[in-house]
Amino acid sequence: MATLLEKISDLNDLVLQGKSMEAFEKYYHEEVVMQENENQPTIGKSANRKREEEFYGAITEFRGAKPLKVTVGEGITMVEWHYDYTHKDWGIRNYTQISVQEWKNGQIIKEKFYYGA
């Protein structure tokens, strides 16, 4: 059975290969709850799939993503990412984000993203 470090490393690699939705299907639980900062969480895999597809569909230019740090704890992983892209609604975005994943039965059951405005 893969460790959480192996799972989060594979997930990150899929994102870097442009396979974010493949990573989502593989590693996210059917009951996943995802939340951006203190915004209302999005509940369930189908609602989050739609949210992810809308986000990736709105990127007009992708210049890069890089995992800077990865931390693994008891049922928890955290990744510090740096992103650089242009979004059709938000314009140029070049920032660092922390993603915290809570795992259940080998899949992410909760993920929260922390970043500046």
Tens digit of pLDDT for each residue in 5-58?
A: 999 999 999 999 989 999 999 999 999 999 999 999 999 999 999 999 999 999
Q: Which SS3 state, helix, strand or coil, does residue 96 take?
A: strand
**pLDDT of 117 above 70:** no
Class of CATH domain 4-115: alpha beta
Query: What is the pTM assigned to this prediction?
Result: 0.92
Report the distance separating Cα 57 and Cα 59, nearest Å.
6
Average pLDDT over the chain reads 95
DSSP 8-state secondary structure symbol assigned to residue 74: S
Residue 34: count of CB within 10 angstroms of its CB = 22
Burial (CB < 10 A; 0-12, 13-18, 19+), residue 24, is buried
